[in-house]
Structure 1
């Protein structure tokens, strides 16, 4: 089943001189842009996209806004609504920003401390945070009528970021160690076991009003692998390995024999068994969890993700829908803002089996670790040939359709975050190293039957 709960989001230059001089300046800048090396180009994208989590964060909490609209027009006046999962990606982005020198370590630690203090006071439900939080009050903002309590999947994305922050700061100054301890205490407060509802599977939601009525068992394969890893890694409220094997892996039913473009899918993609799901499934769980040389009895996770990206890419190159622009330098289908048939803006999980002619830049950009050549081709094409319509003050806009001459000039935390994090992992491997070397993470992975040649277990 595709992640339905994600699909219902409410909705110069400065110069002086003659005109001739200005023309020269524009020509010079164009030339410089065209001549950016791959490393310079990636740095430009990473640095600009980082602004989403720094310059455009929700001001009171310091957390990531659910969405950022540069025009200042928001649905339901929700400019101060923060997203739990996107904020987890944002924590990793802030670590990346400090490492790259986009902000000083002192600035980063100050922001991280502010975030930790806010989260400590925010609404929690058996330790899990809700999907959306009011950035002014810390109170839950319902994601849906019955989705007004704990969201375990979003919490797992947040917790992965917390562990990454802790590992980055734990050997630092006294102030840095103090912030690291705050994040350590926060993640240890999540009662993962509660969210099994006394069964051998994890459940996505629990509400103080509706209890278990959402009834969304986490069964693979989709973006939720990290939820089981975090639940098994908890030193305070760990789940039994049976929940992973019987619930997530469906007692082996997760394995797929399907192939597309002569490429094995390896695992059954829920609701997308023929050609694979939206590409965020290859991103969200793997921002900290390093799939390199990572395997269990169900899959080699590097091959799993590389293959999903390859199928997505090959589909776009084949372009059965004959959409304008699709090809080796214009590809990538995942969940993002979308253009409805009536021309209105919505949200959709784009994938080969649900292609509306909308390319989401995060799909290819965040796949840089799996498909560097193909991802760089998309990045360079957008940056050099379509910059005016696709590039804004927080990086590439969320979605574009050359077919319809349309761009969603908006941003979502869950799309911008993986871009920053995966570019960092491609450039340095930093966030993978921090997360994977956390002792609890190693113990949790071993408990579930994982092996990693890269990290020695």
Structure 2
């Protein structure tokens, strides 16, 4: 009964893809949007922000950890990105769809982005708890998966934050710049070797990185090179894990033999997560397609089940997941379609939120 908020945002985009590709009808999609948005509007929110997890029956917060029992601003931004895509997809001239559009706008307007500056600090904070206040004390600072959080916070009409929150809090006044090469591939921003590949996916399911630049990076270059560094690490395979190759690559957060881990070149235990390579399809089409074919044709039913590729596998430990995670499946679905048609990119970038944020934060395309 656990609902993950960020994964739900990815799933809403996936419903759009499913309707446009003919897997479900538009009428079925609209019915889902009605049900989902009605639930979300009635569910627990804290200063307008949803928690990381909700009880899917009651709509009450399901604590992610002891102190994380309230708002999660980053998960909220992933959901908000999906809601914006849904709103842009719907037809305001259809009464049933207009009701959903109004509900979405109301929920978006109620997110108090400015509350998460803790009284006007030049930075955003990830969590707030009604019981423990700011005990989590985690800043939303880059570089990681949360660019979209600052993007939407800056774009808000009702509860905006200043551009200085982005430049000071996220970009750390230029501290996010890397500029070094790893495996002879330049990394514009972020941690050495780029971090887990979900950094290149979560914020960019709606936000289109094609030609997207600000004073810190070109984000198409960033995401493409991050993906290539990840693949090159698996080719070089410094720890000699079984299975790694140019066609079998991809390190990101996923299930693994010990439970769950954030995999990346500097935290590599031999676990490959299909979502990593597949969701990078727009950036590295040849390398990602080679991985898809390897996963499907070579690994076959060890990795493929009712809902597509399982979450992860580790040949060195003869371990194969039989699980599906929303935050891994969602990006696969959306990024394949963004590669094919740009569907979710076009929807999100057509929004007034995207236009306001681009102008306010100094982005260009």
With normalisation by structure 2, the TM-score equals 0.98
Indicate the residue corresponding to 1:137 in structure 2.
58
Q: Return the alpha-carbon distance in structure 2 between the equivalents of residues 166 and 404 of structure 1.
A: 45
Q: From the superposition, tell whether residues 170 and 193 of structure 1 become closer, same or farther in structure 2 (CA, over 3 Å).
A: farther
SS at match of 2:316: coil
1:64 corresponds in structure 2 to none
Instruction: Determine whether 1:348 maps to 2:269.
Output: no
Partner of 1:110: 31
2:180 to 245, 253, 258: 258
Q: How does 1:359-378 map to 2 (within 5 A)?
A: 359-378=272-291
CA distance in 2 between counterparts of 1:308 and 1:369 reads 13
Match of 1:398 among 311, 329, 344: 311
1:214-293 matches, cutoff 5 A = 214-269=136-191, 273=192, 275-293=193-211
Tell me the equivalent position of 1:93. Answer: 14
CA deviations on 1:156-211 (whole Å, 9 max, x unpaired) are 00000000000000345222222222112111110000011120100000000111
Q: Deviations over 1:32-82 (max 9, x none)?
A: xxxxxxxxxxxxxxxxxxxxxxxxxxxxxxxxxxxxxxxxxxxxxxxx100
Distance across 1 between alignment mates of 2:288 and 2:27: 33
Q: 1:54-453, aligned counterparts within 5 Å?
A: 80-171=1-92, 173-197=94-118, 198-269=120-191, 273=192, 275-340=193-258, 346-452=259-365
Cα offset, 1:232, TM superposition: 0.8
User: Does the aligned pair in 1 maintain the 2:127–2:137 contact within 8 Å?
Assistant: yes
1:207-260 deviation per Cα after TM superposition (whole angstroms, max 9, x unaligned)? 001111111011110001000001011111111001000110111111112211
Name structure 1 gaps, 5 residues minimum: 1-79, 341-345, 453-457
Q: Is the contact between residue 287 and residue 432 of structure 1 (CA under 8 Å) also seen in structure 2?
A: yes
Q: Which runs of 4+ in 1 moved over 4 A?
A: none
Q: Distance in 2 between matches of 1:220 and 1:105?
A: 38
Task: Choose 253-262 or 413-422, whichever is displaced more.
Answer: 253-262
Q: Structure 2: 5+ residue runs without aligned partners?
A: none
Aligned length: 364
Taking only aligned residues, the RMSD between alpha carbons, in angstroms, comes to 0.9
Shift of 1:115: 0.5
How far has the Cα of 1:85 moved from its partner? 0.4
**1:202, 1:247 within 8 Å by CA — same for their partners in 2?**
yes
Does the aligned pair in 2 maintain the 1:265–1:304 contact within 8 Å? yes
SS at match of 1:386: helix
Q: Distance in 1 between matches of 2:232 and 2:272?
A: 14
CA distance in 1 between counterparts of 2:362 and 2:12 reads 28
- Residues of 2 paired with 1:416 and 1:442: CA distance? 28
> Deviation digits for residues 370-396 of structure 1, max 9, x if unmatched?
111111111111111111100011110
Stretch deviating more after TM superposition (253-262 or 417-426): 253-262
Report matched runs for 1:3-18 at 5 Å. none
What TM-score do you get using the length of structure 1 for normalisation?
0.79
Question: Are 1:232 and 1:445, in contact at CA under 8 Å, matched by a contact in 2?
Answer: no
State the secondary structure of the residue aligned to 1:257: strand
The separation in 1 between residues aligned to 2:337 and 2:304, in whole angstroms, is 20
2-side partners of 1:433 and 1:257: how far apart? 30
